[in-house]
Amino acid sequence: MDIAAGGTAARRSLEVTSPDVHQGHRRNIEAPAPTPDESLHGNRAGWEWRHAELMLDGGSFSIQDKAVLEFGCHSGELGCVLGSLGARVTGVDPDPRAVEAARANAARRGLTGRTCFMHVPLTSPLPFDDASFDLISCAGVLQLVRDDLLEHVQGELDRVLKPGGQIVVSATANRLWPREPHHGRWLVNYVPRSLDPIVYGKRTRRGTWPWRIRSGKLEPYRDLCHEDGGRRILESVARDDVSRRELRLVALLNRLLVKLGGHCGYIAPQIATVLQKP
């Protein structure tokens, strides 16, 4: 079953099946966070659905009964979408509160049998054997990885991914842009991290440079979005709230970037691409 074929069934399985667990999940995600931009988000299933069926399928990759790692599971919305589509989902997150929210999210939707969420610090090796997963999702997480840890993280992702497997990168804040899309601060992407204590009074989040997505162990990976001429990215952008004029501009830039070996997923405010391991 591919994503398109499983659409109706997946939407049914994303319904709340346990009202009591649902209330516990709400308390989890509404609990006060250390800072506003660290708060756990609630129901993102609709957004994840619109983008996942394009980014994770592309007309050629079925996730039915596939082993999927959600690296940075947040509150588990994407994990629930993938589990409802037939994948065997393992989610990891460095925030134990996020893991608790993800578990409750899966429980309220009757998906505990297809999902497993674990607390794993970014500095730790992933607790999985080599070549354990068919697909790895990195949704809104790589910009949170410290520069000095990114090579370690990429090496671990490469280690646990099977040959021919795919890494889906999405919702990753792009440091090329003047406004960081997750917490909304202007110009933070251009401020050196060493100045954070002076400018912001603490370490703050910023985007990642797009060329670093394929650095280290991921450099030899095939970019499937480049190979399809950026089609999946353009269709994903079209599902967001953009005007026809903006969409035409993105399409024009995409044609240019494809000729240069890239695609519009690398210049968007949130980086998106699909990489395949040799």
Instruction: Tell me the whole-structure pTM to 2 decimals.
Output: 0.82
Sheet of strand 222-223: strand arrangement: 115-119, 88-93, 67-71, 133-139, 161-173, 270-276, 222-223
- What are 134's two structure tokens? 């068919």
Residues 6+ apart with CB under 8 A from 110: 13, 17, 18
CB 89 within 8 A of CB 82: yes
What are 33-63's pLDDT values in tens digits? 333 233 333 445 666 666 566 556 554 567 8
Q: What is the C-alpha to C-alpha distance for residues 66 and 45, in angstroms, rounded to an integer?
A: 20
Q: Report whether 52 contacts 86 (CB < 8 A).
A: no
> How far out from the chain centre does Cα 28 lie?
21
- Per-residue pLDDT band for 4 (boundaries 50, 70, 90) equals very low
Evaluate if residue 131 carries a pLDDT over 50: yes
The pLDDT of residue 32 is 34
Average pLDDT, the chain: 82
Helix, strand, or coil here: 115? Answer: strand
- Domain spanning 7-227+269-276: CATH superfamily: Vaccinia Virus protein VP39 (3.40.50.150)
Which single residue is written with the structure tokens 């925030």? 95
Q: Where are the alpha helices (DSSP H) in 65-195?
A: 77-84, 96-108, 147-160
124/90: higher pLDDT: 90
pLDDT of amino acid 176: 94
Segment 148-197, tens digit of pLDDT:
999 999 999 999 999 999 999 988 999 999 998 888 889 999 999 889 99
